[in-house]
Every structure is written in C-alpha cells, then in structure tokens.
C-alpha cells in the first residue's frame, strides 16, 4: 500500500509541476491543460495536485513499512 501511495503521489507531483510549467512557459507538457473542462482553472488544479502529492507522501510515510 505504501508503494501505491508513493506512486500516486509521484504522478500527482509530476502532473502538477508540468501544469505549472505549462502555464508559465507555454510549453505543451502535462495532462492538466489537455482536459477541456479545466479551462481557466489550470493553475489552481496544478497547485492542488502538488498539495495532494505531498499529502499522499505524508500518508505513505505514516503507514511505515506495512
């Protein structure tokens, strides 16, 4: 379970950072800007993904070596 949480956290972190990179550099990377229903909210969603990633890392760490 710990590995799964870490993997999901890594995916969320990468997508959040790529979304922020896209917003500030206009590189066409990441998944956030490709989802049409998120138009206008890309920065907020990217920040939420980064926060979610840190929360997932914290939960994975608290679960220990189970």
> What pLDDT, in 10s, does the model give residues 26-62?
888 888 888 888 888 999 999 999 999 999 999 999 8
> Domain residues of the chain, as ranges?
2-62
Helix (H, G, I), strand (E, B) or coil at 29: coil
pTM, whole model, 2 decimals?
0.88
> Which of the 8 DSSP states describes residue 32?
G
Whole-angstrom Cα distance, residue 19 to residue 63?
Answer: 29
Q: Which of 56, 43, 55 is nearest to 16 (CA)?
A: 43
pLDDT of res. 30: 84
Rg of the chain (C-alpha set):
13
Crossing angle of the two packed helices 2-25 and 42-62, in degrees rounded to 10: 160
């Amino acid at each position: 379970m710990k590995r799964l949480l870490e993997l999901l956290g890594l995916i969320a972190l990468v997508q959040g950072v790529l979304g922020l990179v896209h917003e500030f550099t206009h590189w066409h990377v990441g998944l956030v800007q490709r989802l049409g229903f998120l138009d206008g909210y890309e920065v907020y969603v990217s920040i939420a993904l980064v926060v979610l990633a840190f929360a997932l890392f914290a939960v994975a760490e608290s679960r220990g070596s189970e």
